[in-house]
Amino acid sequence: AQKITQTQPGMFVQEKEAVTLDCTYDTSDPSYGLFWYKQPSSGEMIFLIYQGSYDQQNATEGRYSLNFQKARKSANLVISASQLGDSAMYFCAMREGQGDYKLSFGAGTTVTVRA
């Protein structure tokens, strides 16, 4: 079974607008971590934001925020005030357990920001 599902293969957003990228996950482990990574066309993977399963508040990092709905098993990424440099592929990933374990990635969502 797919552990991470990203249903939006591609999205267009106008500069300065907000965009929400969907991510749902599947795990029976009560302890897990959810991550979002950005992959620009140059190829590198850039860590954006983290949400732990026991965190009470939604994570925020600058213009990135994570809408964590535990009961629905969703961890959507919100990018506010989009910039041209936000055009990239975005991956949702999950680590099951508390330790330094592997990440399971979704298929990714391509975001294109229009001027």
Partner 1 sequence: DSGVTQTPKHLITATGQRVTLRCSPRSGDLSVYWYQQSLDQGLQFLIQYYNGEERAKGNILERFSAQQFPDLHSELNLSSLELGDSALYFCASSVRTGSRNEQFFGPGTRLTVL
Q: How far is 11 from 104, CA to CA, in rounded Å? A: 22
| Shortest Å distance, C-beta 31 to partner 1 | 8
Count of positions (residues) in the chain = 115
Q: Counting contacts by CB under 8 A, is residue 20 touching partner 1?
A: no
DSSP 3-state percent helix, strand, coil across the chain (nearest 5): 5, 50, 45
| Shortest Å distance, C-beta 18 to partner 1 | 24
Q: Scan residues 37-66 and list those touching partner 1 (CB under 8 A).
A: 37, 43-47, 50, 52, 54
Q: How far is 27 from 111, CA to CA, in rounded Å? A: 27
Nearer to partner 1, 12 or 101 (CB): 101
Q: Which of 65, 108, 111, 113 binds partner 1 (CB under 8 A)?
A: 108
Q: How far is 22 from 25, CA to CA, in rounded Å? A: 10
8 A C-beta contact, residue 78 and residue 59: no
| Shortest Å distance, C-beta 43 to partner 1 | 5
Judged by the rule CB under 8 A, the positions of this chain that interact with partner 1 are 31, 33, 35, 37, 43-47, 50, 52, 54, 91, 93, 95, 98-108
